[in-house]
Chains A and B, each alone.
Chain A
Amino acid sequence: MAESDHKARQEMLDMWRIYRTTKEMCRDRGYNVLPEECSISFDDFARKFGTESGAIARGQMNFSAIPSEDMVRKYTPPATPKVPNPEAAIGTLWVEFNADENIGMKNLREFIHHLLNGSYYSGIMIVVKPLSGMAMRGIRGASALNGGNGPKGGIEVFLEQDLKINITKHELVPTHLLLSTEEKAQLLKRYRLKETQLPRIQVTDPVAKYYGLRRGQVVKIIRKSETAGRYASYRWAI
């Protein structure tokens, strides 16, 4: 009995950390997240998402997030004569905590249906164990699924394990700032560069994953240097 209590409490602690990292991640990407959501205390968390027996109810932790105005601006391509009012390539996000240990195409299909029925732009699945190989393929090409009518912004998957700590809070991880399409164009113009000439960052890189970088985006990386003060560099996501 005491053994299982201890296990339940450990799991509750883990989920509390994971929940806070997830909220911080959404905030850092530019979604509207309240400060108290990122700093929720363990007791509040356990009260809100625990069952009477002290177990965690993951389904209760699911949430949606709306992009801030600034985020919408960053994700809106510049107007052109052909497209005078371009649509922002971002929208409401759905985040789901899935307790299932065996997640395959069936769960993915349900997730996609939920995204489409709720008109969500993109989704994040936080899972206990890695998805089946087929489901991972489905995630990679999610927007092409459902006969080309999948969620526009795609689906991302995180293992609970990877969100127990927030890697961007590590002192060696410098600040990453996403450039808007316009800022990117200005940067390339100022330095007379082609994007292919920039150093690169893979979208599968843990920090890139944290920020949800997409192929073609450029991030500004600001390091603190003992000799040069602050030092900025740029990376092109591939």
Chain B
Amino acid sequence: MPPKSILKKTPAAASTQTAVAVAANAPPPPRAVNQRHLNTAVHHARIYEQRKQVEADILDAVFELLDFPTSPDADPTRPSPSDAHRFRQAIVPFQPSDYDGLIEERNIADKCGYTLCPRPKGKAPSTARKQFVETSKGVQIVDRKRLEMWCSDDCARRALFVKVQLNEEPAWLRQGDYGTEIDLMVKNTEEHHEALPLRLKKTAAPAPKDTEEEDAAAAWAARDDALADLAIERGETPGRLSKVNKDLITDKIKERVVKFPPTPPSLPPQSSGQSHMAIEGHVPKSARDAEQAKDSDDEDDKQDWDKALPG
């Protein structure tokens, strides 16, 4: 009697055992394609692609910011609007660790770690690993490396001010746009307000590299169109996937398409009768319904300003 298997016998395994014995070397039979698995694969492939792109963007940004500021006599406290703008824009996909990397790279190139400072990095009085430094709080012991990162404490402060604003989440996992705008500590604020847009412009999506990517993009576009049509048929707002379709939240990695400029929220013009119902400026739906029934016009909901925002 052959040794008895300790593994649980499933009916499927039992029935295919003979077949397996015949063609042990054959590649496993193709599994039926499961749409959900396929979606998951596509989803992960897209994240992987985005990750590769973000990585390359960050490295190219470091290459560029190594040479900043563009003028050798720039003043880090009053940067030129174009340098400041480019710095703020290039650094958006950075995580704090990437930013530390940029500082290290500038130091290797003998530059002050703060991107908008043209001066060479500081030089410690000796080559010892720990250094005594005179500060306003008396003599302190500091790592030599820290001492040689910046040309001055002022630059250290300005650089740190940038770092604390950086998003800890990798840019390829961030929702919607890359992230928020980064502010700088500058003395010539007025110049920058004139020159800089309040929000950084979204960089244009890179052109598809080959036909295969184009095909994929077309397929995704077609899918989005189909979903939009379906949504209209169902009486939903286009761009918002219904809950049924939501098992893979693909809309989170969709590029933002701005159809018209967002407008700030405003109260409906005739809202005097509702003001007592408002909670921090928002009028609950029940109160609005009551009001609308009174008005008896079926125009669009004026409160629906958020459809201009990314879905």
Interface residues of A (CB under 8 A from B): 102-106, 109, 132-135, 137-138, 141, 144-148, 191-194, 197
Q: Which of A105, A146, A148 contacts B105 (CB 8 A)?
A: A105
Instruction: Tell whether B209 is near chain A: CB-to-CB under 8 Å.
Output: yes
Residues 65-91 of B at the A interface (beta carbon under 8 Å): 66
B309–chain A nearest beta-carbon distance, Å = 31
B59 and A194 contact, CB distance less than 8 A: no
A134 and B27 contact, CB distance less than 8 A: no
Residue of B at shortest CB range from A107? B108
Secondary structure call for the B interface: helix
Complex-state Cα separation, A135 to B108, whole angstroms: 11
25 residue pairs of the A-B complex, CB under 8 angstroms, read A102-B108, A103-B108, A104-B104, A104-B105, A104-B108, A105-B105, A105-B108, A106-B66, A133-B101, A133-B104, A134-B59, A134-B101, A137-B55, A137-B59, A138-B59, A141-B55, A141-B59, A144-B52, A145-B56, A145-B63, A146-B60, A192-B25, A193-B25, A193-B27, A197-B27
For A133, list chain B residues within 8 Å (CB): 101, 104
For B104, list chain A residues within 8 Å (CB): 104, 132-134
Interface residues of B (CB under 8 A from A): 25-27, 52, 55-56, 59-60, 62-63, 66, 98, 101-102, 104-105, 108-109, 209
Complex-state Cα separation, A144 to B101, whole angstroms: 19
For A135, list chain B residues within 8 Å (CB): 105
For B98, list chain A residues within 8 Å (CB): 134
Secondary structure call for the A interface: helix
Q: Which of A104, A138, A192 contacts B109 (CB 8 A)?
A: A104
Complex-state Cα separation, A102 to B25, whole angstroms: 52
14 additional A-B residue pairs with CB within 8 Å, beyond A144-B55, A146-B60: A104-B109, A105-B63, A105-B105, A106-B66, A106-B108, A132-B105, A132-B108, A134-B62, A134-B102, A137-B55, A141-B52, A141-B56, A147-B60, A192-B26
A132–chain B nearest beta-carbon distance, Å = 6
